[in-house]
Amino acid sequence: MGGSQSVFTDEELDDYQTLTYLTKKEILLVYKRFKVLDPEAVEANKNARLPLDKIRELPELKVNPFRDQICKVFSSSGEGMTFEDFLDMMSVFSDGAPKTVKVEYAFRVYDFDGDDLISDSDIKQVIECLIGSNELTEDEMHQLIDNILEEADLDDDKALSFAEFEHVISKSPDFVNSFRIRM
**The amino acid at 12:** E
- Judged against a pLDDT cut of 60, whether residue 5 lies above it is answered with no
Strands 159-160 and 118-119: antiparallel
CB neighbours (10 Å) of residue 137? 9
* pLDDT tens track for 20-29: 999 999 999 9
Which residue spans within 22-173 are E strands per DSSP? 118-119, 159-160
Percentage of the chain beyond pLDDT 90 is: 83
Q: Which of 15, 84, 22, 14 is nearest to 49 (CA)?
A: 84
Report the chain's mean pLDDT, rounded to a whole number.
93
pLDDT of residue 1: 41
pLDDT at 132: 74
Q: How confident is the model at residue 172 (pLDDT cuts 50, 70, 90)?
A: confident
Q: Are 30 and 183 in contact (CB under 8 A)?
A: yes
What pLDDT is attached to residue 86? Answer: 98
Amino acid type, 37? L
Mean pLDDT of 27-47: 96
pLDDT at 133: 67
% the chain with pLDDT above 70 = 97
pLDDT category of residue 78 using cuts at 50, 70 and 90 = confident
Q: Which residues contact 124 (CB under 8 A, 6 or more apart)?
A: 141, 145
Who contacts 175 (Cβ-Cβ below 8 Å, separation ≥6)?
99, 102, 103, 106, 169
Terminal-to-terminal C-alpha distance of the chain: 15
Mean of pLDDT values over 60-75:
95
Pairwise CA distance, residues 152 & 169, whole Å? 10
Q: Could you report the per-residue pLDDT of 82-126, keeping only the tens digit for each? A: 999 999 999 999 999 999 999 999 999 999 999 999 999 999 999
52: nearest Cα among 80, 22, 24, 77: 80
Give the separation between CA 88 and CA 27, rounded to whole angstroms: 10
